[in-house]
């Protein structure tokens, strides 16, 4: 049995989106599971729509997801001579022919077939004619007219298509460029691809590609067509459902580990397990466990997974990921140790890194620049509360150990002496040092702010 070789073959006409990323992941997982090879092919034969920027964006997305490919990427735009050489082989064998029918003539054939209740397709007008190369001439495959084209789909099971439903597809356009189906088959053969896992929007192409394999006398790869991803309303996934480019999710603060875990479970199952490390996914993945029904994209589930991975990550790792986000918010060149102290306060509270970055900015603002919620000030900094804060300030100033445990002890002692409950001072103190009513634990917040900054904020709040 030959070693497993899979491939991902995006067209660089736009960014890499969720559906394409899932396809890449499934191929990557199977290759790694089998100790095989995962190849990357850029299908840039559409010269007008393919861009270098889109290619770079696709590569960036795959690197972010950790989907490393083997060898150098292959670009179809650099292989036209190879494709045409194979087309010439089919012409020599009599399995392809020149066709001079214009697009208008072909459309008239299809229209006539529709009117007669037949399959709209090219009617083989030039099939037995002697047409020579020239302007407006294409090359077509001489496909079988009878019988069925059969293949075994790893996901859908056995597939049979009547050859009468297929037409003689164009292999070479009138401008000399190869068509998609021809290029794909030649590339997959030359790259020794053994398994083609792709979206079921390619199902209609597969019988045509099977005919090409047969015409060349090549062995078929194993095909597996994965159902599309739907939105929560069971409609085709769109931007309103979350059909964004992969790197948009990075900008929104999702971790690649969460994205990979989530994409793997969109249409693949392994018992009831939901959370997988990359190693677990690699060990467990098999195309046989790919589902036959469409998967539903659920942002809430992605948020849940991302929150899990944030919780499990090391503070140092998250601090490194937070730094550029906070720089974008106006806090460049932050001390990594400061961020590492802040991160644990939010690891159990944040669904995304963007949410964490926004929430923790109050730690990084000097007392003089801290903005106070005026409604919270009016509600909680009452004359009674201010008297307590002034007394607490003295205790905080004299505290030699400004750690959370010592701060908790100081506050508890004060509550006991004053004969009041914690809620009497909790919100006033929180508003005074953070400017708002919501923050991580008060003792931990004070510790991270430090004694000098905490006192400065108390003084400013009391002055206000």
CB atoms within 10 A of CB 288: 9
Q: Which two tokens stand for residue 383?
A: 């004359």
Residue 100 sits at the vertex; the CA angle it makes with 96 and 105, to the nearest 5 degrees, is 115
| DSSP string covering 305-349 | HHHHHHHHS-HHHHHHHHHHHHHHTT--S--HHHHHHHGGGTTTT
152, 154, 155, 161: CA torsion to nearest 10: -20
Enumerate the active-site residues: 239
Q: In sequence order, what are the beta bridge partners of 225?
A: 198
Contacts of 118 (CB under 8 A, 6+ apart): none
Q: Which two tokens stand for residue 185?
A: 């088959």
Q: Which residue, chain included where needed, has tokens 């060349």?
A: 216
429, 396, 316, 56: CA torsion to nearest 10: 50
* 71 CB burial (10 A radius; 0-12, 13-18, 19+): exposed
Element at 284 (helix H, strand E): helix 278-284
Q: Are 109 and 213 in contact (CB under 8 A)?
A: no
Q: Are 166 and 149 in contact (CB under 8 A)?
A: yes
CA distance 390 to 387: 5
CA distance 356 to 92: 65
At 116, give phi and psi (nearest 5°).
-95, 5
Q: H helices then E strands: how many in the chain?
A: 19, 12
């Amino acid at each position: 049995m030959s070693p497993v070789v899979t491939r991902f073959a995006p067209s660089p006409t736009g960014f890499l989106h969720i559906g394409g990323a899932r396809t890449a992941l499934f191929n990557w997982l199977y290759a790694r599971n089998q100790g095989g090879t995962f190849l990357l092919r850029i299908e840039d034969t559409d010269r007008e729509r393919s861009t270098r920027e889109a290619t770079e964006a696709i590569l960036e997305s795959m690197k972010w997801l950790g989907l490393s490919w083997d060898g150098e990427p292959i670009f179809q735009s650099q292989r036209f001579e190879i494709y045409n050489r194979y087309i010439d082989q089919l012409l020599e064998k009599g399995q392809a022919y020149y066709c001079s029918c214009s697009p208008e003539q072909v459309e008239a054939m299809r229209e006539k077939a529709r009117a007669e209740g037949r399959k709209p397709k090219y009617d083989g007008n030039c099939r037995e004619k002697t047409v020579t190369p020239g302007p407006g001439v294409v090359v077509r495959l001489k496909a079988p007219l009878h019988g069925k084209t059969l293949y075994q789909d790893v996901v859908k099971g056995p597939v049979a298509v009547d050859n009468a439903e297929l037409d003689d597809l164009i292999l070479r356009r009138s401008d000399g460029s190869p068509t998609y189906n021809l290029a794909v088959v030649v590339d997959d053969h030359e790259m020794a691809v053994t398994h083609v896992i792709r979206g079921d929007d390619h199902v209609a192409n597969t019988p045509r590609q099977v005919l090409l394999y047969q015409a060349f006398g090549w062995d078929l790869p194993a095909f597996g067509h994965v159902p599309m991803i739907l939105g929560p309303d069971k409609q085709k996934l769109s931007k309103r459902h979350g059909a964004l480019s992969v790197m948009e999710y990075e900008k929104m603060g999702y971790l690649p580990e969460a994205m990979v875990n989530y994409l793997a479970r969109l249409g693949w199952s392994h018992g009831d397990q939901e959370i997988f490390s990359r190693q677990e996914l690699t060990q467990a993945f098999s195309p046989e466990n790919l589902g036959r029904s469409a998967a539903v994209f659920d942002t809430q589930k992605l948020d849940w997974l991302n929150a899990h991975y944030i919780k499990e990550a090391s503070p140092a790792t998250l601090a490194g990921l937070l730094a550029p986000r906070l720089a974008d918010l106006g806090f460049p060149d932050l001390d990594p140790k400061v961020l590492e102290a802040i991160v644990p306060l939010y690891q159990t509270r944040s669904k995304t890194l963007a949410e964490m970055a926004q929430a923790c900015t109050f730690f990084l603002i000097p007392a003089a620049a801290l903005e106070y919620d005026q409604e919270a000030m009016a509600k909680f900094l009452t004359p009674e509360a201010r008297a307590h804060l002034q007394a607490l300030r003295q205790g905080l100033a004299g505290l030699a150990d400004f750690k959370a445990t010592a701060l908790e002890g100081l506050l508890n002692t004060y509550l006991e002496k004053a004969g009041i409950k914690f809620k009497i001072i909790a919100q006033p103190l929180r508003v005074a040092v953070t400017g708002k009513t919501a923050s991580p634990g008060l003792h931990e917040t004070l510790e991270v702010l430090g004694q000098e900054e905490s006192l400065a904020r108390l003084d400013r709040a009391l002055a206000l």
